[in-house]
A and B are shown apart, each in its own frame.
Chain A
Amino acid sequence: MTSQRDDEFQDPLEDYDPPKYKDPLEEALAEKSVTEIQASPHTVIPADMSVQDAMRKLAGQDIACVMVEEDGRLAGVFSDRDVLDRVALEFDSVKHQPISSVMTTEPVCVYETDSAAAALSVMAVTGYRHVPVVSLDENILGIISPQRLTKFLHKYAQA
């Protein structure tokens, strides 16, 4: 038996007009999550690692950025830009200091559930080239680099 109330029910989403995209690239950026962009492998180092050892990690793995962990949480990132800004001309005096003294603290990160466009917007707005990806409980999941995002764009630009 159907009640009067059920008959009168109106779906609040019945008039929902889903977004329309002009091409596959726009759709992918808006609808795909950041997990669709390659975020691993990634390298995490402890905050007390020396600057010199951290740079050896970068050079040895030929990567431009490592994430720095302290007490199980993302404490910062150390990238080529930090090398340019805070290490290159002072290398002899800072090479034995902990990486926490020269890293970028409070990096802007994205959640695994954010859209690909969100990661891209972080790069565009903040100027950071590497965007860490964290889970909803803030565990480190990976990092999105310019090269990885470029591959994503290229893939859907050709779709």
Chain B
Amino acid sequence: MGLLSGIEKDAVSELALRKAITVEPSSSVRQVVKQMREGGLGCAIVVADDGKPIGIFNEAMLRHLLIESPAALDGEIQSVMATPFPWVRATDTVETVLEAMETKNSRFVVVLDDDGKPCGLTGQKGLMEYIADYFPGEVMVQRVGTKPIPESREGA
């Protein structure tokens, strides 16, 4: 199966989903930022008592917050979260992730299970990893650092 066919047919659940960070609406922004930092994830999902998502908070929103009103770090996350937010079902196709990222201009897409509860997070990273599997040669030769070409030959 080619890349395009895969994107059109494979389910979102076949992407490498990240474990979502879920927080309560009354959590402080500072606490949420700590959780995002510890989890190494640029997005947190705000969920209601029934476990269903009501908003998201991401790095871009944090950047604006720090410049415009840094005191809001100690406020509740529900006062600064974004709603609506991009989401897909785990059973949707990978194509829907690409469309959600394109139309919503978002790097993160919340993945919901059949009950409408978040079961993971995907987006740019998940999509790139999925596509990179089709280009093993490029993946194998990835360089690290800003000096990809050695300035001198190795060895004698």
Q: Which A residues form the contact surface with B (CB < 8 A)?
A: 21-26, 29-30, 55-56, 58-59, 64, 73-74, 80-81, 83-85, 87-89, 91-92, 106-109, 111, 115, 117-118, 120-127, 129, 138, 146-147, 149-151, 153-154, 157
Contact = CB atoms under 8 A, between A and B. Distances in A.
7 contacts: A23-B5, A84-B62, A108-B145, A121-B138, A124-B129, A129-B125, A147-B105
Contacts of B142: 108, 121-122, 125-126
Contact of B139 (A22, A56, A121, A127): A121
A87 B36 CA distance: 13
A84 B64 CA distance: 12
Contacts of B2: 21-23, 25-26
A117 B5 contact: no
Contacts, number: 144
Contacts of A85: 37
Contacts of A138: 146
B128 A124 contact: yes
Which 10 residue pairs of A and B lie closest in terms of their CB atoms, listed nearest first? A22-B2, A124-B132, A80-B59, A23-B4, A146-B124, A121-B138, A124-B128, A117-B135, A59-B67, A123-B128
Contacts of A120: 128, 131-132, 135, 138
A108 B142 CA distance: 9
A83 B62 contact: yes
A68 to B, nearest CB: 11
A154 B36 CA distance: 29
A132 to B, nearest CB: 8
A123 B124 contact: yes
Contacts of A83: 59, 62-63, 66
